[in-house]
Amino acid sequence: MDTAVYNQKGQSTGTIKLEPKLFGLKWKADMVHQVIFSMLSNARAVLAHTKGRDEVQGGGKKPWRQKGTGRARHGSSRSPIWKGGGVTHGPTKEVNFHKKINKKMKTNALFTILSRKFKDGEILFMDSLKLDGKTKTGQSLLAELSKLAGYEKINYARGARLLIATATKDELVEKTFANIKTVSVTEVRNLNPLESITYKYILLTEPIEIQSQLMTRLK
């Protein structure tokens, strides 16, 4: 499996041989769905919380005597049928949405997504990425990449357009795209299935080093 490698001007500088274990896997929709759903569940913030009758204030005294008033009997104003009383079967912060994700399955899901994106022409390999931290430079790079066949939508102003994965932490690259909301920058060691499937395109810099790091996940 060979593919072209480009420079920052969008010019081809050669080819690279890709690992079939990373970019040549068959699409497994069920596995990918399970992993993505689990990751979304684990990232879910539990905010909604209602108070039960044991948590609301007041209600310590019986509202009125049991008999002789002509009204229905009540033992506490904290009852769910009273205004200001506790809520029955309402949402609470104690709910746990965490789902266990097998490490091997998560890795296979990532490589399956990368394989599908490569097959669909949504992964771009760049020999190196040297930027100066200016937003204007990042916009110029996106404009150059949008001239490549199949990557015309990479410069759209809306949506999750591009995920840039670098071999090592690069603060200048992060600063360059910090104000471009359609682009996200991450280290390849932090690359995960959810990020990979969220963004339309993926740009991998220093592909030889990145492939080497990704292959270590199979061990």
Assess whether 13 and 23 both reside in one domain: yes
DSSP code per residue over 36-81: HHHHHHHT---------TTTSS---S-SS-SSSSSSPP-S-TTSTT
Same domain assignment for residues 147 and 174: yes
Q: Which pLDDT value is given to residue 106? A: 96
Could you tell me the pLDDT band of residue 1, with boundaries at 50, 70 and 90?
A: confident
Q: What is the pLDDT of residues 156-205, one digit of tens each?
A: 999 999 999 999 999 999 999 999 999 999 999 999 999 999 999 999 99
Q: Which residue has the tokens 């097998």?
A: 102
Please tell me whether residues 107 and 89 are part of one structural domain: no
Placement of tokens 């709910």 in the chain: 95
Residue in 154, 207, 147, 206 with CA at minimum distance from that of residue 23: 207
pLDDT above 90 for 137: yes
What residue numbers bound the domain in which 105 lies?
2-42+98-218
Are 71 and 143 in the same domain? no
Q: How confident is the model at residue 25 (pLDDT cuts 50, 70, 90)?
A: very high
Same structural domain, 111 and 172:
yes
Task: Tell me whether residue 157 is exposed, middle or buried, using C-beta atoms within 10 angstroms of its C-beta: 0 to 12, 13 to 18, 19 or more.
Answer: exposed
113, 79: one domain? no
Assess whether 67 and 107 both reside in one domain. Answer: no
What is residue 152's three-state secondary structure?
Answer: helix
> Which CATH number do you get for residue 12?
3.40.1370.10
pTM (2 d.p.): 0.85
Indicate whether 118 and 184 sit together in one domain.
yes
CA dihedral 90, 93, 95, 96 (to 10 degrees): 160
Report the pLDDT averaged over residues 52-59.
Answer: 90
Residues 109 and 64 reside in one and the same domain:
no
126 with 68, same domain: the answer is: no
The residue from 73, 96, 119 where one domain ends is: 96
